[in-house]
Amino acid sequence: MQALQSRAQARCLSQTRPARVSRQGLVVQAKKTADGPSIAVVGVTGAVGQEFLQVLKERNFPYKSIKLLASARSAGKQQEFEGETYTVEELTENSFNDVDIALFSAGGSISKKFGPVAQKAGSIVVDNSSAFRMTEGVPLVIPEVNPDAMSHVKIGGGGAIIANPNCSTIIALMAVTPLHRLAKVKRMIVSTYQAASGAGAAAMEELKEQTRDVLDGKEAKPVIFPYQYAFNLFSHNSGMDVEMGYNEEELKMVKETKKIWGTSDVAITATCIRVPVMRAHAESINLEFDKDISEADALAALAAFPGVSIIDDRSKNRFPTPLDATTRDDVYVGRVRRDISRSDAKGLELFVCGDQIKKGAALNAVQIAELLLK
Ligand SMILES: NC(=O)c1ccc[n+]([C@@H]2O[C@H](COP(=O)([O-])OP(=O)(O)OC[C@H]3O[C@@H](n4cnc5c(N)ncnc54)[C@H](OP(=O)(O)O)[C@@H]3O)[C@@H](O)[C@H]2O)c1
């Protein structure tokens, strides 16, 4: 175990690099090229939309042209990208006539209305909302986990919609899939600790403002969330199924995992909690497997999985934190340990942190767009 901890630490250090810098240590830029696809970013003024621009730059994504779209409120605003100044345009039915790839992050109702419009115009929509995730025929993709689900979708092959999974689902499955490939997961129990950024730019502002107000002895004024957010935590603010007692975020984790893994033969339950962290979600995950799985084998499988970094140093009580994950591409995993409530070796506990604006949204969507270039 000690040797593995050292290996894991080494891996953690080697992958802890400054944001916006490539693995080779060079600052990279997106590549404007006549051979690239024409792209559109829908919801560009939002938390995910701004991250799309950052990720396109960081990953040197090739593009012929880029169109920046938001609501009428933002039309006319100037936005810098790659040394050029673009004017944000209002999203309309005519926005997609010459767009190959449309990266959508403007909320479910906008996706429902304009996703099919873009598809009809011949664009491939990569959608961050929940609008089409469970629609039959719409691939729901984490590129490291199930890239084959979208292998039939090609640029120039007609319009299509590909869905980006829910952020908590992506972060959980980045950690659990390498273990599921070692020994089948029979049951997964997840508790999330979700950041303000998951609810958008305005929610991040609300957390800042409330924190300032409370420290100044003033009353916190909840607007986006129903409760005081600073110095507090509460059940996730998505809609509640009153009969079941589960909220939508929890049910998304259950349904989407089954679709992504292509199986209904896994039992999943989740408790999703909003915590006053600015950016990056954390998740505690308990797993039951169909056969024995050792801590060493689990750590080795996690270390070998692309997009996963391990922070697991028991001697220093050093495990993943949301700040470790903030602005980073990788999902961080630690506290990998046998479940002592079981008498067999079929149970493991993990603690996972991931930046949900990045791997949980913009990065995952740009990785999907990269698969379209192959
Ligand atoms: N935040 C996350 O971590 C995360 C993770 C996964 C998925 N998502 C999903 O991504 C979507 C956006 O989330 P966000 O956090 O980026 O929200 P946000 O910060 O509130 O941004 C919303 C964006 O949508 C645009 N918009 C709103 N109404 C519009 C309209 N009628 N026409 C065109 N654009 C419109 C806004 O433009 P204006 O500025 O002009 O209003 C803004 O650019 C949501 O579906 C969310 O569930 C978010």
Q: Where are the domains of the chain?
A: 19-165+361-373, 169-356
Q: Which phi and psi (to 5°) does residue 340 adopt?
A: -75, 0
Q: Which atom of ligand 1 is nearest to the CA of 166?
A: 6
Task: Identify the band that residue 28 occupies on the pLDDT scale cut at 50, 70 and 90.
Answer: low
Q: Which atom of ligand 1 is nearest to the CA of 200?
A: 15
Token pair, residue 273, equals 């909690």
Protein residue with its CA nearest to atom 45 in ligand 1: 107
What are 101-134's pLDDT values in tens digits? Answer: 999 999 999 999 999 999 999 999 999 999 999 9
Instruction: Tell me whether residue 236 is one of the annotated catalytic residues.
Output: no
Spatial distance between the Cα atoms of 213 and 81, rounded to a whole number of angstroms: 35
- Residue 95 burial by Cβ neighbours in a 10 Å radius (0-12, 13-18, 19+): buried
* For residues 50-55, average pLDDT: 98
Spatial distance between the Cα atoms of 41 and 56, rounded to a whole number of angstroms: 11
What are 251-279's pLDDT values in tens digits? Answer: 999 999 999 999 999 999 999 999 999 99
Which has more confidence, 51 or 21? 51
Q: Is residue 19 over pLDDT 50?
A: no
Pocket (CB within 6 angstroms of ligand 1)? 43-49, 70-71, 73-74, 91, 105-108, 110, 128-129, 167, 197-198, 200-202, 356-357, 360-361
Instruction: Tell me whether residue 180 is one of the annotated catalytic residues.
Output: no
* For residues 42-63, average pLDDT: 97
Judge: domain 19-165+361-373, CATH 3.40.50.720: yes
Q: Is residue 8 over pLDDT 80?
A: no
Question: What is the distance in A from the centroid of ligand 1 to the CA of 105?
Answer: 5
Catalytic residue among 167, 180, 236, 272: 167
Spatial distance between the Cα atoms of 185 and 261, rounded to a whole number of angstroms: 11
Q: Which phi and psi (to 5°) does residue 127 adopt?
A: -105, 125
| CA neighbor of 360 nearest in space, from 246, 236, 252, 224 | 252
DSSP label at residue 230:
T
Bridge partners (DSSP) of residue 348 are 287, 338
Say whether 32 sits in a helix, a strand or coil.
Answer: strand
Judge: domain 169-356, CATH 3.40.50.1950: no
Task: Identify the band that residue 6 occupies on the pLDDT scale cut at 50, 70 and 90.
Answer: very low
Token pair, residue 20, equals 């916006």
Provide the pairing of β-strand 246-247 with 240-241.
antiparallel
Provide the pairing of β-strand 65-70 with 89-90.
parallel
Question: What is the distance in A from the centroid of ligand 1 to the CA of 31?
Answer: 25
Q: Is residue 12 over pLDDT 70?
A: no
Q: Which atom of ligand 1 is nearest to the CA of 45?
A: 43
Catalytic residue among 12, 236, 281, 353: 281
* For residues 59-63, average pLDDT: 96
What are 177-195's pLDDT values in tens digits? Answer: 999 999 999 999 999 999 9
Contacts 24+ apart (CB under 8 A), 90-99: 91/42, 93/117, 95/40, 95/42, 95/67, 95/69, 96/40, 96/121, 96/122, 96/123, 97/121, 98/38, 98/65, 99/38, 99/39, 99/40, 99/67, 99/123
Spatial distance between the Cα atoms of 209 and 278, rounded to a whole number of angstroms: 12
